[in-house]
């Protein structure tokens, strides 16, 4: 799968993977793994963010876990990044637990010029402009976890947080992190009198071929989501993609492997009049922050 040119994008994609305990769905047999799973990972460094302990790696296929692709990985031992630079060919261990994933022992094995790949022509056309703060969230026709038609007007009058996932995403630091964070926000706000009953969480799947209303219902149940203030949405693929694109979500599918979806993460705060307040990128937010944003957007 070709990598996008922009280094700042927080992109990943994954192939079928059944070993993770966080995968609740799809008829996969999951056994809870008490030990982290370790995979050898080899690739070329495209970017280093030593300050946050992150490396952007164009990696080879990890048999049984992930296709070859370009994505950012956390490196907990930041000293491993001290001498690393774009172009370095490296070898390390990808450690995956139920809720986390990181690279250990990042060893340099060589160097090669970084070849910038052109943007993927088959990716979503940039036909949609990014919503700006204050803009009204579009009334795209979507479908909720009960199979009912849904548009954003359904949450008018409430402050809303919106994020995008797909339920088969196996890497715990991507979509499953969004799910865990939303659950934490839901629990935090439900216990605050000023916010209880006045907020709505909205999770949209960009994998509608697999994430049917029924799958989303089971996913919600597996998360312990309270559906009275958390809605899970799917819809026509074009609808979902055009809606997501307006929040800066980019989705690239592998035509040969429907499970491998490269995507970034975006989470939006929307005020009770249905206007955008802000959009977070990647995992640059905490449940505490988002809960505060939602409270701040409520009329006093
Ligand atoms: Cu994901």
Å from CA of 194 to ligand 1 middle: 32
List, for residues 130-141, the tens digit of each pLDDT value.
999 999 999 999
What is the pLDDT at residue 119?
47
Q: Within 10 Å of residue 220's Cβ, how many Cβ atoms?
A: 21
Rounded CA-CA distance 146/118 in Å is 41
Are β-strands 199-205 and 159-165 bridged in parallel, bridged antiparallel, or unpaired?
Answer: parallel
Å from CA of 199 to ligand 1 middle: 25
What are the pLDDT tens digits along the chain (300 aa)? 333 333 333 344 333 333 333 333 333 444 455 688 899 999 999 999 888 888 988 888 888 787 777 778 889 898 889 889 999 999 999 998 888 889 999 999 999 988 865 544 444 455 568 999 999 999 999 999 999 999 999 999 999 999 999 999 878 889 999 999 999 999 999 999 989 999 999 999 999 999 999 999 999 999 999 999 999 999 999 999 999 999 999 888 878 777 778 889 999 999 999 999 999 998 889 999 999 999 999 988
Å from CA of 168 to ligand 1 middle: 8
The neighbourhood of ligand 1, an ion, using CB within 5 A, equals 169, 174-175
List, for residues 9-43, the tens digit of each pLDDT value.
334 433 333 333 333 333 344 445 568 889 999 99
- The three state secondary structure string of 201-239 is EEEEECCCCCCCHHHHHHHHHHHCCCCCCEEEEECCHHH
What is the pLDDT at residue 34?
67
Q: Within 10 Å of residue 115's Cβ, how many Cβ atoms?
A: 10
CATH architecture classification, 1-121: Beta Barrel (2.40)
pLDDT > 70: percent of the chain: 84
- Class of the CATH domain delimited by 142-296: alpha beta
Å from CA of 157 to ligand 1 middle: 30
Å from CA of 251 to ligand 1 middle: 10
Locate the DSSP E strands across the chain: 37-49, 54-59, 69-74, 88-96, 101-111, 142-144, 149-150, 159-165, 199-205, 230-234, 251-254, 257-263, 266-270, 276-281
Rounded CA-CA distance 109/125 in Å is 38
Q: Where are the domains of the chain?
A: 1-121, 142-296
Residue 187 φ then ψ, to 5°: -65, -40
Most distant CA pair in the chain: distance in Å?
59
Neighbouring residues of 157: CB distance < 8 A, sequence distance ≥ 6: 272
């Amino acid at each position: 799968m070709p990598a996008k040119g922009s280094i700042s994008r927080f992109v990943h994609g994954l192939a079928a993977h059944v070993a993770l305990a966080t995968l609740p769905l799809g008829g996969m047999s999951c056994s809870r793994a008490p030990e982290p799973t370790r995979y050898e990972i080899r690739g070329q460094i495209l970017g280093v963010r030593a300050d946050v302990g992150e490396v952007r790696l164009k990696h080879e296929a990890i048999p049984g876990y992930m296709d070859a692709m370009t994505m950012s990985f956390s490196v907990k031992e930041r000293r491993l990044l001290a001498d690393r630079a774009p172009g370095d060919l490296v070898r390390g261990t990808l450690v995956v637990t139920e809720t986390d994933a990181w690279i250990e022992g990042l060893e340099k094995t060589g160097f090669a010029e970084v070849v910038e790949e052109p943007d993927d022509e088959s990716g979503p056309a940039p036909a949609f402009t990014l919503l700006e703060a204050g803009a009204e969230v579009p009334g795209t026709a979507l479908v909720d976890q009960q199979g009912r038609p849904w548009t954003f007007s359904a949450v008018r009058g409430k402050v809303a947080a919106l994020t995008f996932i797909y339920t088969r995403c196996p890497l715990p630091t991507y979509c499953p992190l969004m799910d865990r964070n939303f659950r934490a926000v839901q629990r935090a706000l439900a216990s605050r009198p000023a916010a209880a009953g006045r907020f709505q969480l909205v999770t949209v799947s960009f994998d509608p071929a697999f994430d049917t209303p029924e799958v989303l219902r089971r996913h919600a149940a597996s998360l312990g989501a309270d559906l009275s203030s958390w809605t899970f949405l799917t819809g026509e693929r074009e609808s979902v993609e055009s809606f997501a694109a307006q929040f800066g979500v980019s989705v690239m599918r592998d035509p040969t492997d429907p499970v491998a979806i490269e995507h970034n993460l975006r989470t939006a705060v929307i005020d009770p009049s249905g206007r955008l307040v802000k959009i977070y990128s990647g995992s640059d937010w905490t449940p505490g922050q988002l809960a505060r944003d939602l409270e701040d957007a409520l009329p006093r």
